[in-house]
Amino acid sequence: MSDPTHPLYGRRFPVHAISRPLHGAGHVLVVYRGHVHLRIPLAATDLAPSPCPTRRTKLSCEAIRQLLALLQQWDTPCHNEPPPSGHDSLQP
């Protein structure tokens, strides 16, 4: 599984069959625990044609809260005009 948002992301399964219909999304039948087949959307695998790979990530609400709290603690503004580094520096 190559889609990080899919519940089976990172797992590998033997492929039983691949469906690539002319219209609509395809799917892959994979072998799970010997005799069980799982139907997985082709787009969630690395078998889907993709002109440019996209990576998606899931951020939990807690992770976003922690990031916002960290940004609120950052009180040092960025300086747009750094001071000259020596006598020969050009003055603006």
Query: What region, left, alpha or beta, does residue 24 occupy, with left being phi > 0 and alpha being psi -120 to 50 degrees?
Result: left
Longest dimension (CA), the chain: 78
Please state whether the predicted TM-score (pTM) of the whole model is above 0.95.
no
Q: Averaged in consecutive runs of 10 residues, what is the pLDDT profile of the chain (92 residues)?
A: 80 88 85 89 80 67 88 74 69 59
DSSP code at position 91: P
**CA 34 to chain CA mean position, Å:** 30
CA distances 13 to 5, 20, 27, 29, Å, are 17, 18, 14, 9
List the alpha helices (DSSP H) in 1-92. 61-73
Sequence spans of domains, the chain: 15-49+57-73
